[in-house]
Amino acid sequence: MKLATRDLLTVADLTPREFGGLVSRSITMKKRGAGRPLAGRTLAMIFEKPSTRTRASFEAGMHQLGGHAISLSSQETQLSRGESIEDTARTLSRYSDCIMARLYKHEHVERLAAASSVPVINGLTDSFHPCQTLADFMTIRERLGRMDGLKIAWLGDGNNVCSSLIQGAALAGSDVHVACPRSMRPDAGVVREASRSVRVRMTEDPAEAARGAHVVATDTHSSMHNKGVSRLSRLARYRVDARIMAGADPGAIFLHCLPATRGREVSADVIDGPQSAVWDEAENRLHTQKALLEALAGRPRAR
Ligand code: CP
Ligand code: NVA
């Protein structure tokens, strides 16, 4: 499918129609395969932070589409010795058809995209995780049959994954109820923008947010960019457990982007229980990334 945007830095780069179209294409690819539209194409990946799912699914996805992926830890590139983001972008643009980067500062992925002559995909920054959101809404559509008119509850840290989920919900047409400490609310600009199309509610009461929800989502209480131990005690009461799920809609699903710490942000009986969709959610990273790569890395070459 065609996307108006060249890069995917946040979910808000997509229109509602493009967001839904990528999810549909991902579901079709999962059912019927995708062929080899990226034969001869190369994806360059840069990682400043660890990754299991993002790295493995992008690499497997490129391979399945007939292309190739190069994975670079920032520590093994000249970025570690002070080469600029811009010079790195210019260089990688000459070898590859697309760049995926997992960086700390969101501003750095914006600089990478500005200097690159090929599409750039944000594989997670401190502020956003758009690829995760595509997989989350694919999972919601598979499990619940729709992405709109839902109540989505987020319990815990209002972090990068939460901000992207809110942006996705705004495109999909579903409401988001966030339960978190006041000091850990998601980005105010993201909430303001999403509130133009859907309801985004903030509360400090986890049971209230989850009541009647069709989707209950959470994430680690200790992100790669935000590991403070004092946060853990303040977040403890936002754990998703059986009591929280009992207050949600009877058909509710549980989502977690992973990696998870059982007993901290979610109890083992929930993440390993019948309402958990986390393994489909992890698998769907592969399918949504393939749909995204087909759209962005499969474009006619500019040179
Ligand atoms: N959910 C996710 O992005 O996982 P990784 O950190 O393992 O890539
Ligand atoms: N919020 C987490 C997500 C990990 C996939 C982090 O940024 O570490």
Pocket test for ligand 2, best of 126, 163, 220, 278 (most atoms within 8 A of CB): 220
Number of Cα atoms under 13 Å in the Cβ half of residue 53: 23
What are the residue ranges spanned by the domains of the chain? Answer: 11-129+285-297, 130-282
Determine contact, residues 237/206, Cβ cutoff 8 Å: yes
Structure confidence at residue 302 (pLDDT): 64
| Superfamily name with CATH number, domain 11-129+285-297 | Aspartate/ornithine carbamoyltransferase (3.40.50.1370)
Structure confidence at residue 50 (pLDDT): 97
Q: How many angstroms is it from 132 CA to the middle of ligand 1? A: 8
Q: How many angstroms is it from 15 CA to the middle of ligand 1? A: 25
CATH code that applies to domain 130-282: 3.40.50.1370
257 is catalytic: yes
- How many whole angstroms separate alpha carbon 138 and alpha carbon 125? 21
- How many whole angstroms separate alpha carbon 185 and alpha carbon 159? 8
- DSSP class per residue in 41-86: -EEEEEESS--SHHHHHHHHHHHHTT-EEEEEEGGGSGGGGT--HH
The pocket around ligand 2, CB under 6 angstroms, is made up of 124, 159-161, 219-220, 223-225, 257
pTM: predicted TM-score of the whole model, two decimal places: 0.98
User: Residue-wise pLDDT tens for the chain (303 aa)?
Assistant: 899 999 999 999 999 999 999 999 999 999 999 999 999 999 999 999 999 999 999 999 999 999 999 999 999 999 999 999 999 999 999 999 999 999 999 999 999 999 999 999 999 999 999 999 999 999 999 999 999 999 999 999 999 999 999 999 999 999 999 999 999 999 999 999 999 999 999 999 999 999 999 999 999 999 999 888 889 999 999 999 999 999 999 999 999 999 999 999 999 999 999 999 999 999 999 999 999 999 999 987 765
Dihedral of alpha carbons 10, 15, 20, 23, sign:
negative
- How many whole angstroms separate alpha carbon 217 and alpha carbon 219? 7
Determine contact, residues 144/253, Cβ cutoff 8 Å: yes
Number of Cα atoms under 13 Å in the Cβ half of residue 261: 10
Q: Which ligand is nearest to the CA of 126?
A: 2
131 is catalytic: no
Residue bearing the CA closest to ligand 1, atom 6: 51
Structure confidence at residue 38 (pLDDT): 98
- How many whole angstroms separate alpha carbon 80 and alpha carbon 84? 10
Structure confidence at residue 230 (pLDDT): 87
Q: How many angstroms is it from 259 CA to the middle of ligand 1? A: 7
